[in-house]
């Protein structure tokens, strides 16, 4: 019983001492007196409390002032002058010449022609002849139908032609058969000058082969179509 009273007395003293120390602090005592009281008061420290929650994010700060402008860069190399070329859109340029029943029976020479106005120097002409052709002979023979431009055959890239060859020795053919077939002669010619171009269709021989009995445009329509086209880049 005596030990219990002693413990109660000690705890009461400690609580009173701690209380008095806090009162002395609030009364504005000198720092030396406060240090003395804290040293000999023997107040017990309680356990650490539970950590608090994280606070809300703060608002954005005020933007900083602009930085100092950088130095000028090194001078670049001199550029090249480029001249932009504007071309007019390509306009169609074509012509058709047609004949009803030419019935032209020559074996060597010019059959017919069609004059065309070429508007550009850097262009090509597409030509087409469509009509019936016939060849017959008693021995092997060959005929050639071809285009000329101002009296000369196309040189760029090559001639524009079509041939018919008959071999009298072939059992499938009889040299006396008279067959007229609609045929086309067609091609592109480059390198022709600007301006008027006389486009003609001719009939001739095939190298060293003899010619036969040729016929062009029998009992049907024949036509020459000419069209100017831009050269591909």
And the tokens for 161?
């032609």
Q: Which residues of 179-211 are buried (b: 16+ CB within 10 A; e: fewer)?
A: ebeeeebebebeebeeeebebbbbbbbeeebeb
DSSP string, 105-122: --SSEEEEEEEEEE--SS
d(CA 211, CA 194): 36
- Sequential DSSP letters for 11-55: HHHHHHHHHHHHHHHHTT--HHHHHHHHHHH-PPPPPPPPPPPPP
Which is more confidently placed, 166 or 202?
A: 202
Phi/psi-derived region of residue 103, left when phi > 0, alpha when psi is between -120 and 50, beta in every other case: left
Cis peptide before 157 (omega within 30 of 0): yes
Share of the chain above pLDDT 70, in %: 73
Confidence of residue 8 (pLDDT cuts 50, 70, 90): very low
Q: Tell me, what's the pLDDT at 23?
A: 53
95-230: CATH number? 2.60.120.1340
Return the pLDDT at 18.
47
User: CA 177, CA 138: separation in Å to the nearest integer?
Assistant: 10
Instruction: Please provide the DSSP assignment of 135-177 as one string.
Output: EE-SS-EEEEEEEEETTB---SS---EEEEEE-TT-TT--TT-
Length of the chain: 233
The token pair that represents 198 in the structure block = 């006389």
Quick: pLDDT tens for 146-192: 999 999 999 999 999 999 998 875 555 555 678 999 999 999 999 99
Mean pLDDT of 27-50: 62
Q: What is the mean pLDDT of residues 87-92?
A: 86
- Please, are residues 204 and 146 in contact by the beta-carbon 8 Å criterion? yes
Q: How far apart are CA 113 and CA 167, in angstroms?
A: 31
pLDDT band at 2; cut points 50, 70, 90: low
């Amino acid at each position: 019983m005596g030990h219990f009273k002693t413990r109660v007395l000690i705890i009461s003293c400690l609580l009173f001492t701690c209380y008095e120390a806090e009162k002395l602090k609030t009364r504005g005592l000198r720092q030396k007196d406060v240090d003395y009281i804290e040293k000999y008061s023997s107040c017990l420290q309680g356990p650490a409390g539970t950590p608090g929650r994280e606070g809300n994010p703060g608002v954005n700060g005020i933007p900083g002032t602009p930085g100092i402008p950088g130095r000028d860069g090194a001078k670049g190399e001199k550029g090249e002058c480029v001249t932009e070329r504007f071309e007019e859109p390509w306009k169609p340029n074509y012509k058709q010449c047609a004949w009803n029943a030419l019935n032209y029976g020559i074996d060597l020479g010019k059959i017919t022609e069609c004059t065309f106005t070429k508007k550009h120097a850097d262009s090509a002409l597409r030509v087409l002849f469509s009509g019936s052709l016939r060849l017959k002979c008693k021995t092997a023979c060959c005929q050639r139908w071809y285009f000329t431009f101002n009296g000369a055959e196309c040189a760029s890239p090559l001639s524009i032609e079509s041939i018919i060859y008959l071999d009298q020795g072939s059992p499938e053919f009889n040299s006396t058969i008279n067959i007229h077939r609609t045929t086309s002669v067609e091609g592109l010619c480059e390198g022709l000058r600007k301006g008027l171009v006389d486009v003609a269709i001719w009939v001739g021989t095939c190298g060293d082969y003899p010619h036969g009995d040729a016929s062009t445009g029998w009992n049907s329509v024949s036509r020459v179509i000419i069209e100017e086209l831009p050269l591909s880049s």
